[in-house]
Every structure is written in C-alpha cells, then in structure tokens.
A and B are shown apart, each in its own frame.
Chain A
Amino acid sequence: MAAVTETNHALKLTGRYALLVAVALIFVLPILFMVVSSLKPDRQLLSDTSSFAAFLPVGDISVGNYFAAFDRAPVGLFIFNSVFITVVTVVISLFLCSLAAFAFAYLEFRGKNIVLSVIIATLIIPFETIAIPMLMVVNSLPWIGAEGLQWGWLNTYHVQIVPFLADALTIFLFVQYFKDLPKELIEAARLDGATWFEVYRLVIVPIAGPVFATAAILKFLIMYNQYLWPLMVTQSEQFRPVMVGLQYFFQLNTAWGEVMAYLSMITIPVLVFYLVLQRAFIASIASTGIKG
C-alpha cells in the first residue's frame, strides 16, 4: 500500500512539474529565440525557424549582427541617451517624491489634505490621455540653458526628464511606507534640535531603503521603456532613446538578424538586472497593488 501511494505521489509531483515547465516554455522561448537569432546570419535565421533549431545556438554563430547594427544606427548614442535620461529621472524623482511624502506623512499644515487628495486622484489619469495637450505645454515653456533663454522644449533631454520628476504613484508609495515608521524617532531628533530637512535626511532616508528600492525599480522600468512620449518630442536623432531608435530597423526587407541583435542589446541588461534583483522587482510590482 505504502509503495502505491508513494508512486502515486511521485506521479502527481511529476505532473505538476511538467505543467510548470510547459508554461515556462511559453514565456521563455520567444525571448530565447530573440537572443539566439541575434547570433545567426539572416539566411540561417530564416531557415532555422522551421525546426527547434530556432531556439538553439547552432550553425554559423557570430556577433556580426551586433557590428552591423552599430553601423546601421547610432546605437551607442541611443543607449547613452536612455541611460542618462533614466538615471537622472530616477534619482531626482526619488528625492522630490520622498521629500514631499515626508511632509505629507509627518507635518501638519493648512491645505495638506486637499493637495494630497488631488495628487492621489491623478492616479486615474492614464498618461496616454494627456500626451497630446502635454505636447502643447512643453512647446510653450521657457528653458534657460547654455544658449540662454529659449522657448519650447522639443528635441532636448529635459523634455524627456522634467515632466516625469514627480508622480502620484511614487509619492503614494513613500507616504504609505513613512506612515508605518515609528514617530518617536522623529520626535527625538526634533528635540535634539534637528531641522525638518535634517530629520528627513538623517533619520528617515537611512531606514527607508526598501521603499526607495521599490520606487526606483518601478520608475526605472517606466522610464527606460518610454516610447510614446519620446516618439513625439524627439524629431532629431541626437536625443532619441533606445526604444525610439528601433525605428531605424523597421524596413521593407527587414534584416532580422540585426533587429534581433539590437533588441537583445537593449533588453539583456534589463533582464540581467531583473534576474539579480528578482525579489525586489516582483515586490515592486506587488506594491502597486496597494494602490486600490
């Protein structure tokens, strides 16, 4: 009897794993196909699609497509632009949003609740519905830079950064986290004569690591993957991020090997980042769940 239940149990377990693996293949194979294809010459790439060789690095493997992609488009520039825009936005927005959230969580001042409610209410506005009027807004704003005063922000880095420096979701995440921290810490620091900014910088920031990580990951994913907005505001190549740079690879007779090389180049670093920090990534997405 014991042996029967044991085999039964083993069978059940195998079944469960088989299902898990089958589903995993659905998610993995397209991505694997992308990376493997980037290493193959076009002719082999196309003929391999008719068998499972499509997912295996076999045949004539080289990094030639990567060099070709660099020849076709200023890939280095696009990658620099994306990294620059993403890093600057993440760093500044984390500072501004956590500072505001600190005030919302701990300070009492007139108008606080109304302002916070309005900010939370903006969560329901999808960016896509304000992109068009936003184009008018940035087109009529002044900017003082190296060349002096200029009107209109189109074709710049700051048009891709400044509008995303503060958002309701990031502020909300910080407020939620700060509310649960012990208030005694703050009161003690205040009695010691610390200013509010010192309390923020020396007491709160050092113990708020998890929420900074969550907010940074979310903001990173949103910024790095931006498409609609940079598409509209960067007509000149000089300021384009990687996602808009993809357009150089849309052709009638697409060189798929080069496309796959470009896609792999802009995706693999994010995937590595994700695999290293996967717990934090998944926790970030789950935390957007508090939003309701």
Chain B
Amino acid sequence: MSSPGPQKSLQRHPLAGWLMIAPAVVLIATFLVAPFVLAFGYSFTNQRLISPNPTEFVGMRNFEQLLGIGVLTLSPEVDEAGSPVRDDDGALQYPRVRDYTRNNPDYPHLEGMREWFGWNWGNDRVLVLARDLVFMKALTNTLIFVAVVAPVQSALALLLALMINQKLRGINVFRTIYFMPVVVSIVVVSLLWRFIYDGRNGLLNNLLEFLSFGLFQPIDWLGNPDTALWAIIAMSIWQAVGFHMVIWLSGLQTIPVSLYEAAEIEGANAWQKFRFVTWPGLRNTAVLILVVITMQAFALFAQVDVMTDGGPVDSTQVLVFQAVQRGYEQQNIAGGSAISVILFLIVLAISITQRYLTRERT
C-alpha cells in the first residue's frame, strides 16, 4: 500500500459521516437552534400566534415596556402657611402617584407606570415605579428563588452526600431513599404538596398542631403572600436535593483514600479533613452543581402553575410562568419571547460569572 497512513484514510469518510449525523443535526437545528434564534427575532416585533395583521418590527419597544422603571420623589403636601399637612393619625400627606403617571405632560417618562416599592427619605417619599409591575415581580421572585435555592440546596445536597458516603452497613438503602423524590414528577409533587400545605385540612398544619399540643396556629401556606414563595422553595428543595447529592457523591468518590489516610496520620480531626482534603477535591464539582442548580432554578414553572398560578397578589409570579402566560395564554409570541430572551441572557451571564470566578481561584 502506498497510502501515507492507513488508519487516517480509513476514517476519512465525509459522506458516511454527514449521513450519520444528518438526522440529529436537522432536528437540533429545527427544534433548538431555530427557536432560539427566533426568540431574539420575535422579541423585536409584535408577532402573535395567530393574527390578521402583518407582523411589524418594533425595535426595543418590548424590552422598554418590560424593563421600564422610573423614580418619583414626592414631597409632602403643604398648606398655605407652608407647613406639611398631616391626617388624623399624624401621618404626612403626599400627592397621589396617579397624578404623575396619567396624562401628566411634565412627566412623560412615567406615563402608565405603577408603584412598585418605596421608602421614606426625610420627609420625602421616594417611589420606584415600574411600567410592567407583574414582570418586575416575576423577575425579583425568580431572582429570590435562585438566590435561596442555589446555595441552600447545594449545601444540603453536600451534607446528604457526606452522610451517604459513610462506610456503614445498609447505607445504599438510604441513598436510594434520599434520591427517590427526584424520579417523581415535579407536577405530582406540586399537587401532593398543595394538600400538605392546605390551610384548613393540610397535613403540615395538622401535624404541627399535633406536635405542639395545639399551640400552633394554622397557616394557609400557599394562600398567604408572605409564605407562598417560601413554601414553593422548601418543596422544590425537597424534590431536587437528591439529584445534586448524587453529583456531589460522585465527586467525593474521586478523592483518593490515600489523602484521608495521610491526614489521619497527621492527626487531622473530622473538620480539618473536610476543610483540607474533601473541599479542595470538590472544587470542580461545586462549580458544576452551582451552574446546574442555577439553570434549573431559573426554569421554575410547574410548581407555580400547579400550586399558585402566580398568586396570591403576584407573590409567586416567576419569569417562565409570565412568558407562558403571555406567549401562550394571550398568544403574544413577541412578549413571551422578550421575557425568554431576558431569561436566557441572565442565565448566560450567571453561568459565565460562575465559571470565571471559580477559574480565577484555582
């Protein structure tokens, strides 16, 4: 044979190669890449699912609508003498917000906005207004959800992994049990926990009442704006923590036993072994888990859809739920796509930051 390298020429088969990857490539292009690109495209238009009118390019209007916020500083009302007006309780009186946000030619940038939150600054009242209040609540709730779930769930998962990593008889039984909720659909879990959290006959209230000998006052966990998001957070962690426990566990098992033996000889205690042997060995796993949990947490949808529908008073609105409400329920593809694009950009930014931060340290 005169060919330069038989091994190379054996494998150089463009036709076979392309034929074999073609089905997968076409499918991924159509159902992953195209929708992804379209999400960006639609977010600059007024596209609807079905519409008699032609689609128009609207530039940044969807994003301005979603992200528009304004600050309004209100000074207390003063009487003719120039001293502030107080009501019967002695509270200062402020002008009405809607005088600024409705047809006020002096404040065109606040037109149509609604009060989001505010605080007192001396005698003045500072208000932050949002053009799309529901979206802003969805954005903040999603960020709270991620900010709580990512660290708490990864820490608990590590704790469970350390427990499961002990050399004890029958330990695999516990591993199997801790992982069990992961294989149960989050939709099933959400409906089950809706009953557990129920305000009147719920298992959680009744058990707490039983365990506290009747001292505990029942709470409508999902019906109260102060507890609803936290109830969803607790349940979500319960369901998914086993998933990340298993990833931590496979990280733990890559740490050579000889390192622990060496630490033992040096007289290290349990904490020192964790701090100087286990933890350094888990750095890559830690990054992976943070990225995975963060991405999963941003995708929060089923829990809200099954348990609360975004309520009460928008306290559990989240981004994916809003994207679906607009894109599907209201057939406003452009609005839903704009929210999707914002969501994707946040996920991208966070995963780049997480990778960058951890790369620098090593």
Contact = CB atoms under 8 A, between A and B. Distances in A.
B24 interface: yes
Interface in B161-214: 163, 166, 168, 171, 174-189, 191-193, 195-196, 201-203, 206-207, 209-210
Contacts of B206: 49-50, 54
Interface string B90-130: 00000000000000000000000000000000000000000
Contact of A49 (B27, B182, B202): B202
B14 A110 contact: yes
Contacts of A124: 295, 347-348, 351
B310 interface: no
B251 interface: yes
A150 B175 CA distance: 50
Interface string A181-198: 000000100100001110
Nearest to A282: B246
A108 to B, nearest CB: 5
Nearest to A273: B183
Given A16-B166, A259-B191, A274-B180, A136 B49 contact: yes
Interface string A120-137: 001011111111111111
Given A133-B333, A286-B246, A31 B180 contact: yes
Interface string B335-362: 0110011011001100100000000000
A99 interface: yes
B23 interface: yes
B42 interface: yes
A69 interface: no
Contacts of B323: 128-129, 131-132
A129 B251 CA distance: 30
B109 to A, nearest CB: 29
Interface stretch (B73-81, B272-280, B297-305): B297-305
Interface residues of B, number: 98
Interface residues of A, number: 96
B178 A109 contact: no
A61 interface: no
Nearest to A196: B16
B320 interface: yes
Given A243-B187, A281-B183, A286-B246, A126 B347 contact: yes
Interface stretch (A70-78, A207-215, A225-233): A225-233
Contacts of B182: 285
Interface string A257-292: 001100100110011001100100110011011011
Contacts of A50: 206-207, 209-210
Listed from nearest, the 7 A-B pairs whose CB atoms lie closest are A132-B327, A109-B17, A292-B288, A103-B20, A100-B24, A132-B336, A166-B27
18 contacts: A17-B168, A30-B192, A30-B196, A31-B184, A33-B203, A99-B20, A107-B20, A108-B11, A109-B18, A122-B33, A129-B347, A132-B39, A132-B340, A133-B340, A259-B191, A270-B183, A271-B183, A278-B179
